[in-house]
Amino acid sequence: MKLMQIRIVIVEIAGEINLGSICRLMGNFGFRELYLVNPKLDLNKLTTAYGFAMHAKELLKEIKIATSLEEALTDVDAVVGTTAIAASGISNPLRVTVHPEELQLMIDLSGKTAIIFGREGTGLTNEELNSCDVVVTIPSDSEYPTLNIAQAAAIILYSIFRLKKGRKNARFRAASQIEKDKLFEYFSKLLEKIRFMDAKRPIAERIFRNIIGRAFISGRECHTLLGVFRKLLSL
C-alpha cells in the first residue's frame, strides 16, 4: 500500500501551529490527503499555519473539509483511531489499544486507510472511537500521558513511513468496509441464534470488531469467514 492510500483525518482542530506542523510532517513522510472535520479556526487566515508548514504549504491549499466524521470516512476500507487513554484490561473494549510499532505490522494491504486524530484538548469521543477498526496509543509516563497532537502525529506517521519504506506493495486486497460490515452483521446474527446474553451482546460485538480491526484482514479472508458464518446460520 502506498502512503497516498492513507488519509489523515483531524477532528475539530483549533490551533494553527498544530495544523501547520502536521502538514509539514505529512510532507516529510509522504502523506498527501488531509481531511478536517469541523475545524475550529478560520481557514482563510492561516498565516501562522503556512509558516509552520514550511515546504508542505501545498497541503494546506488541498485540505478537504467534512461536516461529520462519517463524511470524512467516505470510501475508506480501514479506520485507525488514536487515544491517550488506554484500557488496563477489557473493561472498556473501545479503549483496547495497540502501539505504533504494532500498527506498522497491520497496515499492509492495498485498501484505503484513515488515521483519525482527535481534538487538542479532549481527543476522540467513545462514539467516534466506535467507528474505528483499531485504536493506537503512544506509551508515555503515567504522570503526564497526553502528547501534543502534532507530536503524536510525528510518531505515528514516522512509524508507518518506516514500515512502507522497506516493503514492497501488498499483493492482495484489503477487505472493504462493506465486506467487514457484512461480517459484523453475520456475527450479530450468530449471537442472536445462540441466544447470547442480551446485556453482554454489545461488548461481544465490539470485541469481535477489535479482533477484525487489528487483523486488517484481506478480502479473501473476509469471504472465507463469511462463508463459515453463512453455513452456521443455516444450521
CATH code at position 40: 3.40.1280.10
- CA distance linking residue 205 with residue 139, whole number of Å: 27
pLDDT at 146: 86
End-to-end alpha-carbon separation of the chain, Å? 39
Q: Do 12 and 39 contact (CB within 8 A), yes or no?
A: yes
Is 170 a domain residue?
Answer: no
By CB neighbour count within 10 A (0-12 exposed, 13-18 middle, 19+ buried), where does 189 fall?
A: middle
The answer on 32 and 130 residing in a single domain is yes
The residue among 116, 145, 165 that closes a domain is 165
pLDDT at 218: 84
Helix axes 177-193, 201-215, angle to 10 degrees: 150
Cell of 86: 488506554
Q: At residue 45, what is the residue type?
A: K
Q: Do 232 and 190 contact (CB within 8 A), yes or no?
A: yes
Q: Which residues contact 209 (CB under 8 A, 6 or more apart)?
A: 133, 184
Share of the chain above pLDDT 70, in %: 87
Q: Convert the pLDDT of each residue in 191-232 to its tens digit.
A: 999 999 988 999 999 899 888 887 878 888 999 999 999 999
Is 201 a domain residue?
Answer: yes
Average predicted confidence (pLDDT) for the chain: 87
Q: For the chain, what is the radius of gyration of the CA atoms? A: 19
Cell of 39: 475545524
The answer on 181 and 161 residing in a single domain is no
pLDDT at 3: 66
The answer on 49 and 94 residing in a single domain is yes
- 3-state SS of 99-146 is CHHHHHHHCCCCCCEEEEECECCCECCHHHHCCCCEEECCCCCCCCCC
pLDDT tier at 94, thresholds 50, 70, 90: low
The answer on 157 and 200 residing in a single domain is no
Q: Convert the pLDDT of each residue in 117-147 to its tens digit.
A: 999 989 999 899 988 988 999 988 888 888 9
Which run of H or E residues covers position 33? strand 33-37
The answer on 99 and 69 residing in a single domain is yes
H and E: helices and strands count for the chain? 10, 6
Order the strands of the 113-117 sheet from edge to edge: 64-66, 33-37, 6-11, 113-117, 78-82, 134-136
pLDDT at 175: 85
